[in-house]
Amino acid sequence: MKLTEKLLQWADIVFVMEKKHKQRIQQKFPNLVNEKEIVVLDIPDEYQFMDEELIMSLKTAVSPYL
C-alpha cells in the first residue's frame, strides 16, 4: 500500500518493516511524523507480496500493538 499524506493523517500508528522505510516517511512527510508513532518491525523487506512466512512474521510483530 502506498502511503499518502491523507492516510498518514488518519493513522494513529504506522508500522514499517525496516528502518529505511521509517526514514523515507520522515523525509516525505516531515511535518506529520512528529505527531505519529512509527514502529519499525525489523523484518527484512526481502519477501514476495503475500508470502506466507512474511504474513506470519507481520502478525507476530504487530500483535502486541493490537
pLDDT value at position 48? 83
Tell me the three-class secondary structure of the chain, residue by residue: CCCCHHHHHHCCEEEECCHHHHHHHHHHCCCCHHHCEEEECCCCCCCCCCCHHHHHHHHHHHHHHC
- Work out how many domains the chain is built from and give that number: 1
Q: Looking at residue 1, what is its pLDDT?
A: 77
Give pLDDT tens digits for 15-66. Answer: 999 999 999 999 999 999 888 999 999 999 888 888 899 999 999 999 999 8
**Mean pLDDT confidence for 3-21:** 95
Query: For cell 494513529, what's the residue?
Result: 12
Separation between Cα atoms, residue 50 and residue 66, nearest integer Å: 21
Q: Which domain holds residue 36?
A: 5-65
